[in-house]
Structure 1
Amino acid sequence: GNRADSDQHVEFVGGNVQPVTSKEDWDQKLSEAKRDGKIVIANFSAAWCGPCRMLAPFYCELSEKHPSLMFLLVDVDELTEFSSSWDIQATPTFFFLKDGQQIDKLVGANKPELQKKITAVLDSVK
């Protein structure tokens, strides 16, 4: 395989973060989350985006801390068509989904805000 390419992904996917490889894969993961009553956090990022890379290790960390949530990673360059259906103005953009419906959204690599929204989401399901 292409070394440089695989290196870029290493920093993005760790902990319990699952990369989304296709629209079908996305649908499958969402129905899985629905079945298990899990809230989904989808991180729409790009490998070339500095703030995305900066936030990636933190996102992986969060995924380990909160196994009751499903953490997904969508590469906007790999899934261009799918990503454009989500009207993404900037990367990273985080979508919070419950039963397939968007319940919250965060634009930008804002760690405290991401943490806050995750806490709020967790409180809402207790």
Structure 2
Amino acid sequence: MSVTGAIVVVAVLAAATLVGLVLKARAGRVRATTDERTGGWDLAGVTPQPDDRVLLLQLSSPICTPCRQTAAQLTGLSAEHPGLAHVEVDIAERPDTARELNVMRTPTTIAFARDGRELLRVSGVPRRRDLLAALDTELTAPR
């Protein structure tokens, strides 16, 4: 292999490593949204129960391994915290929902307030502490 070829290989490997590190750092990060989108409960196909304050809508796909971890985590959170509801939607069965919400990757979790406002988004497995901190105001606000 020539010196030029070796430099090209090293540069490609360095670039791929950098892209991988950036994507890993972004995974699971809670992002507040300024989207005026409403109707999250309708998109999930559920009606809020009297005690429900926040819907955690998880968009998954059948071949997604992190989706199982996300589902277990969100199911546990909804069991531990009154006011949280969790619904998982398989985008293979309902691609229209993913399109409407502009979801390009699974798992993606979108939190909706009781009135249907989009509160936040998480791509990848959510960081439990960050997710609860971001939802604290909505969960503790007086009704």
TM-score by length of 2: 0.59
8 Å CA contact 2:105, 2:123 repeated in 1: yes
Distance 1:56 1:28 in 2: 17
Q: Return the match for 1:26 from 31, 44, 53.
A: 44
Higher relative contact order (CA 8 A, sep 6+): 2
Instruction: Specify the SS of the correspondent of 2:75.
Output: helix
Q: Mark the structure with the bigger radius of gyration.
A: 2
Change (3 A) 1:24 1:105: closer
- Corresponding position of 1:3: none
51 and 27 in structure 1: CA distance in 2 versus 1, 3 angstrom threshold: closer
In the other structure, the counterpart of 1:123 is 137
Deviations 1:52-83 (A, max 9, x none): 12332222211211131111111111111122
Task: Give the number of equivalent residue pairs.
Answer: 99
In structure 2, do the counterparts of structure 1 residues 124 and 54 end up closer, same or farther at CA, with 3 Å as the change threshold?
closer
Q: Which position in structure 2 is the counterpart of 1:16?
A: none
2:125 maps to 109
1:1-126 matches, within 5 Å, as 26-29=44-47, 32=48, 36=51, 38-98=53-113, 99-110=115-126, 113-126=127-140
Name stretches of at least 5 consecutive residues in structure 2 with no aligned partner. 1-40
Q: Identity across aligned pairs (percent)?
A: 22
Is the contact made by 1:47 and 1:53 (CA closer than 8 Å) also made in structure 2?
no
In structure 1, stretches of 5+ residues that fail to align are: 1-22
* 104 and 115 in structure 1: CA distance in 2 versus 1, 3 angstrom threshold: same
Deviation at 1:108, TM superposition (A): 0.8
TM-score norm. by structure 1 comes to: 0.66
**Residues 66-121 of structure 1 deviation map (CA, whole Å, 9 limit, x = unaligned):** 131111111111111122111112101010111101011111113xx243222331
Q: Quick check: 63-72 or 87-96, which moved more? A: 63-72
Are the aligned partners of 2:57 and 2:86 in contact in 1 as well (CA < 8 Å)? yes
Residue 24 of structure 1: how far off its partner (Å): 6.0
